[in-house]
With several copies, the nearest count.
Chain A
């Protein structure tokens, strides 16, 4: 029952024009850099991409933007990218801005089979327009709906052939949520270990959420804001 895929090219081939894909990462931290690069080469178009951010001009999801593969972006913050601004102002790119916690919860709901949930986040703001409102103990909430993806691209630190994954530090971020919400989840790892080497008490993503797993080799792991202590 191994889920090892032979190549990133093979794994992303099933992604079709018009698909919705959920992509892990926060800024450039913990992004599935190999699968994104393979998807840029694959060239599937009119994608709806769900991810907290949209990369930078020449890295991460920015590569898909540069290729004009993205029709719609669902994100909480997209401020790091000139191509994004250009395509948005041109009307080439549709954008749905979602509060970060609501975005995380909508993806989590998608993976968990929860169809919708009530949250106070966004009440009284443009985000609440057109959404159902309901009071709970005097607190007004809005109804937000689940997000699922035709595919999910995630990056973990270690994984095993059954698809069990562990993440490292803040590179975890949206990755476990995306993993559970994709119909086909492609997981890339820095190190693919033997079955039994991950402690069953400390697996972040149990293998049943993962359809393809690949070892990504050397990772670039770009840093967006390199801040060091003044000596």
Chain B
């Protein structure tokens, strides 16, 4: 696991609290499941119709009828349940999912998210992302702070077509944690290796710095 990926996942897993119903997006978010502390009693929701995703199966448990939204074979946790896709998105849209952690391509300072298409490329589809960002009670986006050319993915406004407007509650990058509030975008934490100045340098969006964080850095 790359250093930045490790940082992001380690920070993101702290969002998950005991008793939560959590939806993890495909890719990096799915990897968070393996890092949830053993004692935490959460139900992972899979939008293809499963509440209570268990660990990957061993060879003897492998079942083509039991997959997650990323189409990987999984198992079901004790106390889990299966349902159809309309019911699954009733759960999402109806506000019954406490937390969704999804990947992002761009996040804007007012909490807009783009994570489903790049205009010049073949469009594969949004899957369930547009429903999840509108429905989950808290939407946490995880992504690298800058792209491979070093440009900030944390933008004044998104260039890419949106997945949803003002839907992000929290953004976790390999440098920082931001919250999106009525008072705008707020830098809440800097991750190991970064400081407020380096975050500013790598962020196109305008944000304010949380007071506690400011004091913490001042007192160093």
Contact = CB atoms under 8 A, between A and B. Distances in A.
Whether A and B touch directly in their complex, counting CB atoms under 8 A apart, is answered as yes
Interface of A: 1, 26-30, 52, 75-79, 85, 88-89, 97, 99-105, 107-108, 110-114, 119-127, 157, 160, 162, 164, 167-177, 180, 195-196, 198, 200-201, 203-204, 206-209, 221-229, 231
A4 to B, nearest CB: 13
Interface of B: 18-19, 21, 41-43, 45-52, 55-59, 62-68, 70-74, 76, 78-97, 112, 122-132, 134-135, 161-165
A27 B84 CA distance: 14
Contacts of B88: 101, 104
Contact of A104 (B70, B85, B162): B85
A76 B126 contact: yes
Contacts of A108: 86, 90
Contacts of A77: 124-127
Contacts of B92: 101, 113
21 contacts: A1-B41, A1-B42, A26-B49, A77-B126, A97-B123, A99-B126, A100-B131, A101-B92, A102-B89, A104-B84, A111-B94, A113-B93, A120-B134, A125-B162, A170-B67, A175-B84, A195-B79, A208-B91, A225-B73, A228-B62, A229-B58
A26 B124 contact: no
Contact of B57 (A113, A198, A228): A228
A200 B76 contact: yes
Given A1-B19, A180-B90, A223-B64, 12 more contacts: A26-B85, A89-B122, A97-B125, A170-B66, A170-B82, A174-B84, A200-B80, A206-B87, A208-B21, A208-B45, A225-B72, A225-B73
A68 B119 CA distance: 26
B72 A76 contact: no
B79 A160 contact: yes
A143 B84 CA distance: 22
Nearest to A102: B131
B125 A76 contact: yes
Contact of A229 (B56, B78, B95): B56
Contacts of A78: 124-125
A229 B57 contact: yes
A120 B43 contact: no
Contacts of A1: 18-19, 41-43
